[in-house]
Amino acid sequence: MSVLCRHPSARVALVWALLLSSSAFAVPEVQVVPCEKAYVGRTCQVVYEVTWAGEPDEYAILAAEIEAFDWGTARVSEVSATVRGGENVVRQVVELTPTAPGIHDMPQVTIPFVDKQAITQQAAPEPGPEAAKAEPPALPTLQAETFRLRVVPSNPLYWVMGGFGGLLALGVLLVVWRLLRRSKGAAEPAQEPVPTGDLQNAQRFLHEAKRHQVDGDFYRFYLALAGAAEAVNPEDADTASKLKTRAQDVGYGGVNVEKHEADSDYRTVERALRKRVEESDS
């Protein structure tokens, strides 16, 4: 065997035996774990994992080959092998350092491998002049899927300007919202009779009273209700006085208010307001 290996044609035959692979055997698979966003001048990691089931020494995975590109640099920084979930995993980490912002296509990454099982079943060509001149076949390879990567500038001024633009857009939205709200509020009064003067204040107090009732704040509920009663009929001081006393009893006297009582007091003032509105429209 030592004599055979010293012959040039025998060495070429041995290379053929080591490199030939057969399509009858299943090849491993490659998966990519990309980095979603990168910054100019900062390194991000892209992980390529080659997996296969079976014996760990069935395949020999070689270093990844990265296609040339003009928007940064890349290199294989780490290679490790392990068994995970019953599968053999060869993990290669590519450190990517972008030099230009924008949306870029990740360069093609090719991972060559050697199928050792196929090697053992391949017969080496007979030593001879032709075998010595022949070139060994190319290794089988895995083509990793490419992806698009967003690269943003790392200059702090970029973020300041971006934040200013966001604040400006927010300010415009607030102005538009307020204008729409005012136009909507101006259109609403045409849908129902709107009291004027003290009656308008009475309606406002009623709305406040209802809001306080929903919140469970009966002290402010009765104060607002008393204000509405005074605005509806300033001459009817008794109703407003009773409602103010009720507010004091609730706020400082610890008196509990039943829902039906609050509803009854609210409807009393509401009916008085509705009656005054109808009178003003007639």
pLDDT for residue 65 = 95
Asked if residue 167 has pLDDT above 90, the reply is: no
Asked if residue 147 has pLDDT above 70, the reply is: yes
Between 268 and 164, where is the model more confident?
268
Sign of CA dihedral 15, 19, 63, 82: negative
Query: Which among 111, 118, 113 is positioned nearest to 17, based on CA atoms?
Result: 118
Q: What angle separates helix 198-215 from helix 218-232, to the nearest 10 degrees?
A: 160
Beta strands in the chain (DSSP E): 29-33, 37-39, 44-52, 59-61, 65-66, 72-84, 87-98, 102-105, 109-115, 141-143, 148-152
pLDDT band at 96 (very low <50, low <70, confident <90, very high): very high
CATH topology of domain 2-152: Immunoglobulin-like (2.60.40)
pLDDT for residue 124 = 58
For the chain, domain boundaries: 2-152, 156-188, 192-281
For the segment 173-225, what is each residue's pLDDT rounded down to a tens digit? 777 777 776 655 444 443 334 344 477 888 889 889 999 888 888 999 999 99
pLDDT for residue 2 = 37
For the segment 122-142, what is each residue's pLDDT rounded down to a tens digit? 655 566 666 556 566 788 999
Between 277 and 245, where is the model more confident?
245
CA distance 161 to 167: 10
| Mean pLDDT computed over 142-170 | 74
CA distance 154 to 176: 33
